[in-house]
Structure 1
Amino acid sequence: MTSRRLLLPLLLVLGLSACGPFGGNGDHDAIEAAAKKLAASMVDHQVVAAEVSDPAAVAAASQLLEPLTDIASIQVGDVKQAGNTGTAVLTWKVTVDGHDWAHATKLSLVKRASGWKAVWKPTVVESSLKADETLAVTGLKADRGNIVGAGDKPIVEPRRVVRFGIDKANTPTGSVASSARRLAALVGIEAAPYQKLVAKAGPKAFVQAIVLRRSDVSSGLLAKVAAIRGALAVSDHQPLAPAKDFAAELLGTVGPVTAEIVKKSNGRLRAGDDAGLSGLQLRYDAQLGGTSGVRVSAVPKDPNRLRRTLFEVEAKNGTDLKLTMDVAMQTEAQKLLRRYGPASALVAIRPSTGAILAAASGPGSKGYNTATFGQYAPGSTFKIVSSLALLRAGLKPTTTVPCPASVDVFGKKFKNYSDYPSNRLGRITLKQAVANSCNTAFISERSKVTGTALADAAAALGFGVDHDTGFPAYFGQVPPPSGKTEAAADLIGQGKVLASPMAMATVVASVVKGSTVLPFLIPSVKPEATKPAKPLTSAEAASLRSLMRAVVTEGSGIRLRSLGNNPPVYAKTGTAEFGTKAPLQTHTWMVGARGDLAVAVFVDVGQSGSQTAGPVLEAFLRAVG
């Protein structure tokens, strides 16, 4: 009996313990729910008093979490209970300036009458944080790569600049608007937009007005800026070319990123970074700009104690972008083009390799990339292509062709340029027709150039076939003519034939080399040439060189004769009428070659190829040839 009496209470105790408060899961679910609630609140930066054991800790929690602006998730796991206390492991995934910071911390919880509450400590956010420490997130800026030219000579590199702006922290509130207006007027920018920008900026912001090269900033300007309340002139460095106009349209610019650029960078860029905004700087920004890094630090209240690094991703510096551009040639080209008011360009190519040595657009281009992407009627420079088509049709440089004063094609009257030499009219050789640029001679032979013959000749000289070169490049067009009148106009580089200065320099380079040249500027993005349907032969190239040589020795390019014969100079002049108002304006061209150098010069509006573009070609070949 005694044993049975003892057994029953023992069974009851065992049974009760299986269902009691410390058996099975106990308060596991409630602890987990409280931990998840706090985790969700921290993700949203909305910790409330009801979630923590000490309501006074809410302010400290908010301050500590503030630098972590992008908490992707906080997962709760490994929940445990010991009486009225519990713990949970928090697995954090934080995105800091585009970098993922994953770490784990431990959360303690206590049971109160109103339920389970989190015990707030700095270690909830990062396990090593102390009570007197806060967090700081610091961006680590990558060094931008340079753009370098032939021989690895720097083109775009950090150069000294001065940043002008208003420092609102040191500007009396009542003076902000007037200071902004005065500074804008002084540095030559529009006052109203800048004043509005300054007004919208924070009370401690430095609002930049303009950045100028240090060499362009006089001591007088600095003194006048210093006299404006709150205005500053801050010395700095910025990636810049040797001069303001040095291939500016092609190279592009670097400046502060916009919110849109940051968004498109997929975390590579952050607010405050500089990035490429146009041209090659934009297209190759990922290579040049590298990747910014970040550091998360524990910052003690005591300024005498050092910060501790909790998480760091080092910045990856950008790498240089190498170009074939020759700094000396480009500088000379830019200098020579400064004389022109209209749009202008000079492109120089090394025929043996196809390397672009200069691609300059003049000040009249007003920021447009005339040199490699301009689209203009090439005029009589296109007679190099037309000559190849005629050679393939059976003509020779010595073949006699008619050169009348004018020729009518279905009601359209074609004539030669106004000062065409009268002693070169009548029956002349093809060489003389090219040398003196007789329009009517080429149009008279139009029946010999049929079908795709003209386009095939163009392709053999690298004209009219597109390639992805890694930079803005227009290779020209020779579309099928809509009728016989247009076909006649095409032969003299009008009609629907269009070219860029780069395209015409390519034609000349192909003649010099004796085979199709594919120009390139970026060696790492050198496209493969497409074999023309009818490739240029060495014999054809030799004939074309003889025609272009005659332009110098006896024709419209005779001014180049002073450059001598060693090596010989080849050339072709060109004008192309455009517009609708009489008298029609003319594009002016002159292309030429000397040794291993092929050059095209273009001026949007001028008198003639020899008189307008010719002096630049001569000066350039004399300086660099």
Structure 2
Amino acid sequence: MLLPPGSARRRRHPVRAVAVVVAGLLAGTLSACTYTGDPVQPVADRLAAALSARNADQIPFTGTTGAAVTQQLAARSEQLGGIAPAVTVDRVDRPDGAAANVALTVRWDIDATDRDWTYTVTAQLARKDGQWSVTNGDGLIDPSLNPGERLALRRVAPERGDILGAGDTPIVTARPVVHLGVDKTKVPAAEQDRAARAVASAVGIDPAAYAAAVKAAGTQAFVEAITYRDGTHAAERRAAAAVTGAVEVPDQLPLAPSATFARAVLGSVGPVTAEMVADSGGRYRAGDTAGLSGLQAQYEDRLAGTPGTRVLAVPAQGEPRTLFENQAQAGTDVRTSLDPRVQTLAERLLADQKPASALVAVRPSTGEIVAAANGPGSNGYNTALLGQYAPGSIFKVATSLGVLRTGATPATTVPCTPSITVDGRTFKNFPGYPASALGDVPLRTAITFSCNTAFIAQYDRVDDAGLTSAAGSLGVGRPNETGAAAFLGSVPTGVSATNHAASMIGQGKVLVSPLAAATMAASVARGSTVTPRLVTSDPAATTASASAPASPSATASSVPAVPLTGAEAAGLRTLMRSVVTGGGVDPLKDVPGGSVYAKTGTAEYGTADPPQTHSWIIAYQGDLAVAVFVEEGDHGAITSAPIAARLFTELAK
């Protein structure tokens, strides 16, 4: 595989400048120097400059012509990807007055490394009738080639680093695949269109487009139709195998355990685009592969390693000889905290969700993200880490912290009324709110049955800065230190009274991701602010971030998060446990593995009447905190809670 023109990112030898200088030098030709007093050094310098400029037309040669040498230089340059040699004079020997031997160093900058293909040649000069000429010009620039050989440059792909999971379990690693397609040498030309269409039909791709690709390829080409993981798609492969000319080429590609495993998080590796080639400064060429999305793209420099380069002497027949090689340097593994068992289970639990959905699981003790699963309804988007949604009533955990910080306790009485009006806007409880839980009730009862009006009634007790600070204490809106692209939430300050009232119940302009929601639960479990992490190998070096969408009427507060106290953490745990034991989340009451603490949420969105709703739950059990989100669902206790219950139940087995 030839490297593209301009593939070297480093140029120590200014070839363009040499080309300009040589035009002047060549005007005098080699006859400018004779034995009667003038040194041979200027003669040698002119020759070196001409070779560097790939223009020896005006250099006198014996036995060949300058034009022939220029043609040879052009051919060798093309064979090495269009680069020019940098030729310098090493020394000049004068055996007698009519002869000189010029040792030339030839340097080809074949790749972006500091190690060039360098060798020394000797130009033999003879003086006759006052003019110097080169007597061994034929093959001077590449004396190592045998008759009939040509140069070739091959890129040697490095071994790509793996993406590892918990306990350094390989998640994305080289796995066997087969490239299935048509080998044009194995089917007569008249039958190639039919064969291409038959293969395309067998594997389910566009027959006309594939037939056109086969027709356009060279006569010796293998034209890939599709790539399968080895051991999969047996029926399609059998159907294709019955077509004359269809072949399978075994290979290995960096793949996760399954096609869906954390795909939106891990990303993919595939052929580089034309835009990537154009913007790479020679790093990529057509046919190369690279990380295209997710962690694979973000950590491309670390995972990809450094390609090797090999200069070959290729004969008309037989095996090529290696003249020079820069060996490929393997990529470095990237370590993550993903637990394959938890991730696989989370994806299975979301498999039947048609709307966008996500399940994130975090270890409170360490902040490690052990699962970041997206359901099929997310259509490849990383809802788990990047989704930005109103949290609804799960945010009442943060609001409760704000209330506790005013001196309240879980037993403090708050007014739960059928409705409440703030600055002209009326808020109500969700339809079907139990009448038995209305009136002056303990804060514990208000959160158990998710009384909207009780929390909104505290809007003048907990101002917007206090609410933002409380949310920050639970990890919402904090800097992203996951080592991946992630959104940790946004809680506005400086908003109107009605917007602040809406914020108290997780509506209005409050936004969280499923990751931010899980971090809230993890912080309550640990009793201190949890900083979630996904990439555990030096994440700080390349942390990516995502920002909340700009709001014309609100800006994120710069109020720092206040550390949780022991009493505050205990109060929040009491409230979240009451949600489970008090009847709010029946699916979590009897799961094995110990006590579960939770809060459900239903967030209204859109302009429909009645509004559509997001379904949420945050929960923790032992050292595992989770958030389950379904973009369009019923009450959190109905849609999301059963998914969390199944997760805890399966993990307890």
**For the superposition of Structure 1 and Structure 2, which TM-score range results when normalised by the shorter chain?**
0.7 to 0.9
- Taking the aligned partners of 1:543 and 1:122, their CA distance within structure 2 comes to 89
For residue 54 of structure 1, what is the amino acid of its counterpart? T
Quick one: structure 1 residues 112 and 273, their matched pair in 2 at CA, closer, same or farther if it must change by over 3 Å?
A: farther
Selected match of 1:253 from 268, 281, 286: 268
Task: Judge conservation of contact 1:293–1:312 (CA < 8 Å) in 2.
Answer: yes
Residue 163 of structure 1 corresponds to: 179
- Taking the aligned partners of 2:183 and 2:111, their CA distance within structure 1 comes to 26
- Taking the aligned partners of 1:280 and 1:47, their CA distance within structure 2 comes to 53
1:554 aligns with 2:582: yes
- Within a 5 Å distance, the mapping from 1:389-538 to structure 2 comes to 389-480=402-493, 482-527=495-540, 532-538=560-566
Quick one: structure 1 residues 338 and 172, their matched pair in 2 at CA, closer, same or farther if it must change by over 3 Å?
A: same
- Taking the aligned partners of 1:381 and 1:500, their CA distance within structure 2 comes to 12
- Within a 5 Å distance, the mapping from 1:610-621 to structure 2 comes to 610-621=637-648
DSSP-derived class of the 2:634 partner? coil
- Within a 5 Å distance, the mapping from 1:260-275 to structure 2 comes to 260-262=275-277, 264-266=279-281, 268-275=283-290
Task: Judge conservation of contact 2:155–2:307 (CA < 8 Å) in 1.
Answer: yes
DSSP-derived class of the 1:414 partner? strand
For residue 618 of structure 1, what is the amino acid of its counterpart? A
Residue 629 of structure 2 corresponds to: 602
DSSP-derived class of the 1:462 partner? coil
Normalised by the length of structure 2, the TM-score is 0.84
Quick one: structure 1 residues 525 and 302, their matched pair in 2 at CA, closer, same or farther if it must change by over 3 Å?
A: closer
Residue 340 of structure 2 corresponds to: 327
- Taking the aligned partners of 2:225 and 2:315, their CA distance within structure 1 comes to 37
Selected match of 1:341 from 325, 335, 354: 354
Q: Deviations over 1:339-382 (max 9, x none)?
A: 10000000000001101110001111001000011100011000
Selected match of 2:617 from 572, 586, 590: 590
Residue 189 of structure 1 corresponds to: 205
Selected match of 1:74 from 86, 93, 102: 86
Task: Judge conservation of contact 2:85–2:109 (CA < 8 Å) in 1.
Answer: no
DSSP-derived class of the 1:139 partner? strand
DSSP-derived class of the 2:589 partner? helix
Question: Structure 1 or 2: larger helix share?
Answer: 1
Normalised by the length of structure 1, the TM-score is 0.88
Quick one: structure 1 residues 35 and 517, their matched pair in 2 at CA, closer, same or farther if it must change by over 3 Å?
A: closer
Task: Judge conservation of contact 1:76–1:88 (CA < 8 Å) in 2.
Answer: no
- Taking the aligned partners of 2:340 and 2:381, their CA distance within structure 1 comes to 20
Residue 367 of structure 2 corresponds to: 354
Aligned length: 600
Residue 571 of structure 1 corresponds to: 598
DSSP-derived class of the 2:436 partner? helix
Q: Deviations over 1:214-273 (max 9, x none)?
A: 23321x322322344543332222111111111000101111234543455555555543
Following superposition, the deviation at residue 213 of structure 1 comes to 1.8
- Taking the aligned partners of 1:189 and 1:524, their CA distance within structure 2 comes to 40
- Taking the aligned partners of 1:623 and 1:95, their CA distance within structure 2 comes to 58
- Taking the aligned partners of 1:287 and 1:32, their CA distance within structure 2 comes to 43
Following superposition, the deviation at residue 390 of structure 1 comes to 0.8
CA RMSD of aligned residues (A): 3.1
For residue 247 of structure 2, what is the amino acid of its counterpart? L
Task: Judge conservation of contact 1:324–1:357 (CA < 8 Å) in 2.
Answer: yes
Residue 12 of structure 1 corresponds to: none
Residue 280 of structure 1 corresponds to: 295
Unaligned runs of 5+ in 1: 1-18
Task: Judge conservation of contact 1:122–1:131 (CA < 8 Å) in 2.
Answer: no
Quick one: structure 1 residues 69 and 417, their matched pair in 2 at CA, closer, same or farther if it must change by over 3 Å?
A: same
- Taking the aligned partners of 1:258 and 1:51, their CA distance within structure 2 comes to 46
- Taking the aligned partners of 1:119 and 1:21, their CA distance within structure 2 comes to 16
Quick one: structure 1 residues 109 and 193, their matched pair in 2 at CA, closer, same or farther if it must change by over 3 Å?
A: farther
- Taking the aligned partners of 1:477 and 1:333, their CA distance within structure 2 comes to 26
- Within a 5 Å distance, the mapping from 1:190-269 to structure 2 comes to 190-191=206-207, 193-218=209-234, 220-262=235-277, 264-266=279-281, 268-269=283-284
- Taking the aligned partners of 1:25 and 1:446, their CA distance within structure 2 comes to 96
Following superposition, the deviation at residue 315 of structure 1 comes to 1.1
- Taking the aligned partners of 2:450 and 2:62, their CA distance within structure 1 comes to 91
DSSP-derived class of the 1:41 partner? coil
- Which moved further from structure 2: 595-604 or 225-234? 225-234
1:541 aligns with 2:551: no
Structure (1 or 2) with the larger CA radius of gyration: 1
Task: Judge conservation of contact 1:123–1:130 (CA < 8 Å) in 2.
Answer: no
Quick one: structure 1 residues 126 and 38, their matched pair in 2 at CA, closer, same or farther if it must change by over 3 Å?
A: closer
- Which moved further from structure 2: 240-249 or 308-317? 308-317
Give me the identity figure in percent: 45
Quick one: structure 1 residues 216 and 49, their matched pair in 2 at CA, closer, same or farther if it must change by over 3 Å?
A: farther
Residue 158 of structure 2 corresponds to: 142
1:314 aligns with 2:350: no
Task: Judge conservation of contact 1:349–1:506 (CA < 8 Å) in 2.
Answer: yes
Unaligned runs of 5+ in 2: 1-31, 544-557
Quick one: structure 1 residues 107 and 440, their matched pair in 2 at CA, closer, same or farther if it must change by over 3 Å?
A: same
- Which moved further from structure 2: 451-460 or 197-206? 197-206
Quick one: structure 1 residues 234 and 309, their matched pair in 2 at CA, closer, same or farther if it must change by over 3 Å?
A: closer
Following superposition, the deviation at residue 402 of structure 1 comes to 1.5
For residue 63 of structure 2, what is the amino acid of its counterpart? S
